Chain A
Amino acid sequence: MIGIIRTLWLTFLHLFHKNDTVPYPETKPYLSPRYRGRIILSRDPNGEERCVACNLCAAACPVDCISLQKGEKDGRWYPEFFQINFSRCIFCGFCEEACPTYAIQLTPDFEMSEYVRQNLVYEKQDLLISGTGKYPDYSFYNVSGLAIPGKDKGEAEREAAPIDIHALLP
């Protein structure tokens, strides 16, 4: 009996509490930078595409919504096309984890509704941004041991000069 009256009273007091609801379109909620929303493809600090078309993201994707084709130019790989089907994407972020070059990144934006399902298939030009995203200084070819035009073996950051296997010196 006392319990019932106390419940009534406490519930009544909630009339004077502040609402927890965020009136969404007018007030946007804060989304942390790590929020897993719309996917983008970023560029390295030199403005080149970061993606090296390694297909790791497509392999990691649990719903198989990434599709890309490798192309090659000056010894570098790049995606000829790169599609993400956002009508299937579950925003799990596995692609971002799998990517060795920080090319594919998830962003704090989720307002991507469409009236036509087909419009949810984003092409490379829709995905590619002009900046570096979350990792401003990272450039895959600057740290990898791969030789590309303008950067030979042993010239990458923190990379020792290659061992001359024909020399007899220790």
Chain B
Amino acid sequence: MIVPMPIIIVVTFAAVMGVAAVSTMVERRLLGFFQDRPGPNRVGPFGMFQVVADAVKMLFKQDWVPPFADKPVFLLAPIVGFMAVLLEFGVIPITPHWSIAGDLNVGLLFVFAMMGLAVYSVVLAGWSSNNKFALLGGMRAAAQMISYEVFMGLSLLGVVMTAGSFSLHDIVLAQSRCWFVIPQFLGCIVFLIAGIAETHRLPFDLPEGENELGAGFHTEYSGMKFGMFFLAEYAGVAMISALITTLYLGGWGGPILPPFLWFAIKVVFLICFFILLRAALPRPRYDQLMSFGWKILLPVSLINIVLTGAILLWQAGA
């Protein structure tokens, strides 16, 4: 089945936006259940139209640019973050035939490049707001995201070595016999943790740590510009879930059900897991976050690479 490219692009991006919007509602309901309360359940059946209500509210909020802000950069920052996340979805193979970039041979590197860009959004937002809290949040975000990108990349090397390709399509195909989560368990855990830090989600949401920084890097943002940060964060969660699915959980692969359903099930499961993490775990201190990254995750991912390499060489030699 060959679908024309414009349709693929539009449908994928619309789906990403939809997932991001719906997951804000799902998150609030799930958090409610985790805390023995129903969560927002008034608007529409099961509170499903809460998303619409939120969107309408956000659209009609005054879109205010503080007079002391650096205006062009201030306007640019949320757009950069949002675009970066959306572009990452371009290379994710959702089914064997449904991927915007097709079989891009540097897919994984492209994802990393875009993640690197996402850092800019946060730093620029913090910088251009001309606000102490925002700047602190931006600095934290920069340090956190850059250092966790290191472990993220290192943890992925095991997958790349085993699959022998940077193409996400090939990586999924390489998992047709055994999901990489089993041989690459260490890598998967490191990737998961780094992924949380990368999307600055709770429990690693230090850039926005409400109790210390107001709202961190988006303190000065309002209206739809704030909405873009918000959507980008949830799209980022969906993105990390999609990446973990592709890299470790066999992507679209699975028996009986059609490929798309398998992909969706895995992604939704991971998104719910992210929400569980938010409900269960406290936020670490900033120095704890950093030392955890450099003193534990870095060695673990290096060990993972060495072990994977040794096993691959041994298999090749045998």
A residues apposed to B, CB below 8 Å: 4, 7-8, 10-12, 14-15, 17-21, 23
Interface contact B34-A14, CB-CB below 8 Å: yes
Q: Which residues of B contact A4 (CB under 8 A)?
A: 280-281
Number of residue pairs spanning A and B whose beta carbons lie under 8 angstroms apart: 35
Distance, CA A104 to CA B15, complexed state (A): 62
Q: Which residues of B contact A21 (CB under 8 A)?
A: 36-38
B residues apposed to A, CB below 8 Å: 30, 33-38, 276-277, 279-281
Interface contact A8-B277, CB-CB below 8 Å: yes
Interface contact B276-A11, CB-CB below 8 Å: yes
Cβ distance B14 to chain A, nearest Cβ, rounded Å: 30
8 Å CB contact of A20 from B34, B36, B277, B279: B36
Q: Can you name 11 A-B residue pairings with CB atoms under 8 Å? A: A4-B281, A7-B281, A10-B280, A11-B34, A11-B276, A14-B34, A15-B30, A15-B33, A19-B33, A19-B36, A19-B38
Closest residue on chain A to residue B30 by CB atoms = A15
Q: Which 10 A-B pairs have the closest CB atoms?
A: A11-B280, A21-B37, A7-B280, A20-B36, A8-B280, A14-B34, A17-B36, A15-B33, A11-B279, A19-B38
Given contacts A4-B281, A8-B277, A8-B280, contact A14 B33 (CB under 8 A): yes
Q: Which residues of B contact A7 (CB under 8 A)?
A: 280-281
Interface contact A15-B34, CB-CB below 8 Å: yes
Cβ distance B291 to chain A, nearest Cβ, rounded Å: 16
Q: Which residues of A contact B279 (CB under 8 A)?
A: 11
Q: Which residues of A contact B277 (CB under 8 A)?
A: 8
Distance, CA A10 to CA B280, complexed state (A): 8
Of A4, A18, A19, most buried by chain B (CB within 10 Å of CB) is A19
Interface contact B37-A20, CB-CB below 8 Å: yes
Q: Which residues of A contact B280 (CB under 8 A)?
A: 4, 7-8, 10-12
Distance, CA A23 to CA B279, complexed state (A): 22
Q: Which residues of B contact A23 (CB under 8 A)?
A: 38
Cβ distance B280 to chain A, nearest Cβ, rounded Å: 4
Distance, CA A12 to CA B36, complexed state (A): 11
Given contacts A8-B276, A11-B276, A12-B276, contact A18 B36 (CB under 8 A): yes
New A-B pairs, 5, CB < 8 Å, besides A12-B34, A17-B36, A21-B36: A11-B280, A12-B276, A15-B33, A15-B34, A23-B38
Q: Which residues of B contact A18 (CB under 8 A)?
A: 36
Distance, CA A12 to CA B33, complexed state (A): 9
Q: Which residues of A contact B34 (CB under 8 A)?
A: 11-12, 14-15
Closest residue on chain B to residue A16 by CB atoms = B33
Q: Which residues of B contact A15 (CB under 8 A)?
A: 30, 33-34
Of B33, B38, B280, most buried by chain A (CB within 10 Å of CB) is B280
Cβ distance B41 to chain A, nearest Cβ, rounded Å: 8
Q: Which residues of A contact B38 (CB under 8 A)?
A: 19, 21, 23
Q: Which residues of B contact A19 (CB under 8 A)?
A: 33, 36-38
Distance, CA A55 to CA B34, complexed state (A): 52
Distance, CA A4 to CA B281, complexed state (A): 7
Q: Which residues of B contact A12 (CB under 8 A)?
A: 34, 276, 280
Cβ distance A116 to chain B, nearest Cβ, rounded Å: 26
Distance, CA A95 to CA B37, complexed state (A): 37
Distance, CA A19 to CA B35, complexed state (A): 8
Interface contact B281-A14, CB-CB below 8 Å: no
Closest residue on chain B to residue A14 by CB atoms = B34
Q: Which residues of B contact A10 (CB under 8 A)?
A: 280
Distance, CA A17 to CA B38, complexed state (A): 11
Distance, CA A23 to CA B146, complexed state (A): 45
Distance, CA A21 to CA B30, complexed state (A): 14
Distance, CA A65 to CA B138, complexed state (A): 51
Distance, CA A19 to CA B30, complexed state (A): 12
Closest residue on chain B to residue A6 by CB atoms = B280
Distance, CA A11 to CA B38, complexed state (A): 15
Q: Which residues of B contact A20 (CB under 8 A)?
A: 36-37
Cβ distance B223 to chain A, nearest Cβ, rounded Å: 29
Q: Which residues of A contact B36 (CB under 8 A)?
A: 14, 17-21
